[in-house]
Amino acid sequence: MKRMIIKEIKLVSFLEEKAKKVTFHPNITVIRGDNHTGKSSLIKSIYWTFGADPKDLHPKWKNANVISLVKFSLDGKTYSILRKDRFFAVFDDEMNVIDTFNGITNGIGPFIAQLFNYKLVLNNSKGESLIPPPAYFLLPFYIDQDISWNKNWESFDRLSQFSNWRNDVVNYHTGIRPNEYYEINAAIRNYKKEISALENERKISSNFISKISNQIKEEVVAIDTVQFKKEIDELLSLYDVLNKKGSKLKQKILELENHKIHIEQQIKVVNSTISELKDDFEFAMEQTDSVECPTCGNIYENSFAERFAIAKDEDTCKDLLLSLNSDFKKIVESIQSEYKIYDKNNHEQEKIRGILSKKQGAVKLKDIILNEGKREMNLLMEEEISSLNNEIYNNEQQIEDLKEELKEFEDKKRQKEIRTKYFNLMQSNLMKLEVLTMSEKSYKTITSKIAETGSGKPRALLAYYFSILEVMKEFSTSVFCPIVIDSPNQQDQEKANLDKMLDFIIEKKPEGSQLILGLVEMNDISFEGKTLILNEKHSLLGKSDYPTISVEIKDLLEKCE
């Protein structure tokens, strides 16, 4: 069985400019501190980093916007996970980014499930089968001071997002329905989805065949389709040639029309220039040999040479006008010629369309083509349906084989063995913790909601939690995570009972597991591990660790950008 060990946690608040680093012993770490020293905030932050939100976080802790970084090992391989609000990043042992996520259910959740080999699948309120968030996988390992000493399987927040999750989660963790059960069921679901998709395809094909069959005309069955196909191929080939020719003719006509417009514009410009030159020449002829400038008053010579230059410009423009008018006439003739060719081409296309509509006897050529096409399509659809039927059958056989495999994990004898193991452990643990008045009915089933009153309730719940953990150790196929317990001294336990609880926790810790235990006070209890003492009230984070940790966290966040 794989196990996870939490090595250290680093916490930083850039808002308060404070930080904290805590290293954990691979066996037992006791976090001891009076109330309001931040003990619970530290403990809650461990699994919060993995995306499992506790039900209650202190408002002051929330307002500090704490970023957490947990280093852990999984089956001997080291990872680190960083959480900043709803952002997560996972790093390898050299602090290279493996992946980043926004959100839990559709973000870090599936990654954690894959990394930890959690195959559990639950149905949400819409009936959709989903991999649940990390909270459902970490539930048996976390005993919260606010909720867990009153209700079992309630340590984390927002568990109700899945309907009827409790029995599935208990059965999964205790091995009644192990990973293999959910892997096989996942495969069955995939085959059923495939069958559903294939059946939809088959239905569409069947409906298509039905419509096509109704449209096939029996009176055209005997027509020689080979001859019609040959004729159609020839006609379509000719039609394609004419169609391409028509496109080229349209393009040429468009170019000629554009050139015609261009010449018309040039003619207008030349006519305008001739008119202006004529006016200038008449003005010059009317003047004396000298002309006074109306602007500056200077006198200029009105010579014959100047009058001749004006007349010469006018002659040049008239020559140009004659040339342009000639070009214009040629363009108009070209356009008319191209239109005649275009109209003839269209006429040829119309003739072909007429032939395509021609009847041979009472049947149109296009009916023959359509009818044969429908018959061919009908055959293709029938072949497709046959292929779909084979695929559906093969998938159904796969499901039957998987159901046979599933029987091994639904074995009543094995399930009874697990439930009996739990029941015997529960009886033994209740005796050790001196919970003697609790009725057997209250804890008989492995999914029981522990109902006890007074100071006996925390001890009864502790007996239940460790009964489940011991069953998990023997029968579960998923990762065994660190056991995190916060403040077992609930409901004013007498000293003798509290000592029994602490001795029980140390003694009954499953072999090879890690324990992180939060206490207000601890008597002479010997254990292999370390004790962390928190002294400062209302301030878990401190100034001394901030310079180093803040730089490290900033560097990691930059790597994620």
Tell me: the pLDDT tens digits for 421-438? 999 999 999 999 999 889
Share of the chain above pLDDT 90, in %: 47
**Angle of CA points 168, 172, 177, to nearest 5°:** 95
pLDDT at 359: 47
Nearest to 460 by CA among 503, 480, 415, 490: 490
Q: Which residue has the higher pLDDT, 297 or 173?
A: 173
**Mean pLDDT score across all residues of the chain:** 85
Tell whether the torsion through CA atoms of 426, 428, 432 and 437 is positive or negative.
Answer: positive
Question: Could you tell me if 452 and 460 are in contact, meaning their C-beta atoms sit under 8 angstroms apart?
Answer: yes
Q: Show the 3-state SS of 260-290.
A: HHHHHHHHHHHHHHHHHHHHHHHHHHHCCCE
Would the pLDDT of 362 be above 50?
Answer: no
Cα distances (angstroms) measured from residue 511 to each of 1, 138, 480, 519? 12, 18, 11, 22
CATH second-level architecture of 4-171+411-559?
3-Layer(aba) Sandwich (3.40)
Buried-exposed string 120-141: b where 16+ CB fall within 10 A, e elsewhere: bbbeeeeeeebbbbbbbbbbbb
Would the pLDDT of 305 be above 80?
Answer: no
Tell me what the mean pLDDT of segment 329-356 comes to. 83
Pairing of strands 97-102, 87-91: antiparallel
For residue 556, give both structure tokens. 């990691």
CA distance 69 to 48: 10
Q: 386 falls in which pLDDT band (50, 70, 90)?
A: confident
CA distance 286 to 362: 89
Tell me what the mean pLDDT of segment 508-528 comes to. 90
Cα distances (angstroms) measured from residue 395 to each of 304, 378, 385, 541? 108, 26, 15, 58
Domain residue extents for the chain = 4-171+411-559
Question: Could you tell me if 527 and 506 are in contact, meaning their C-beta atoms sit under 8 angstroms apart?
Answer: yes
pLDDT at 343: 87
Cα distances (angstroms) measured from residue 352 to each of 19, 355, 362? 87, 5, 19
pLDDT at 504: 96
CA distance 414 to 175: 9
Q: 479 falls in which pLDDT band (50, 70, 90)?
A: very high
- pLDDT tens figures, 90-144: 999 999 999 999 999 999 999 999 999 998 988 877 777 788 999 999 999 999 9
Nearest to 459 by CA among 484, 486, 491: 491
Q: Show the 3-state SS of 118-166.
A: CCCCEEECCCCEECCCHHHHHHHHEECCCCCCCCCCCCECCHHHECCHH
Most confident of 48-62, 229-243, 283-297: 48-62
pLDDT at 317: 76
CA distance 467 to 473: 10
Of 146-160, 171-185, 365-379, 389-403, which gets the smallest average pLDDT?
A: 365-379
List the alpha helices (DSSP H) in 216-357. 225-286, 304-356
Helix (H, G, I), strand (E, B) or coil at 15: coil
Would the pLDDT of 328 be above 60?
Answer: yes
- pLDDT tens figures, 307-323: 555 555 667 777 777 88
For residue 151, give both structure tokens. 């209700």
Nearest to 523 by CA among 497, 544, 552, 502: 502
Tell me what the mean pLDDT of segment 476-496 comes to. 90
Q: 503 falls in which pLDDT band (50, 70, 90)?
A: very high
Pairing of strands 122-123, 97-102: unpaired
Would the pLDDT of 513 be above 80?
Answer: yes
- pLDDT tens figures, 205-222: 787 777 766 655 444 444
For residue 552, give both structure tokens. 């490290």
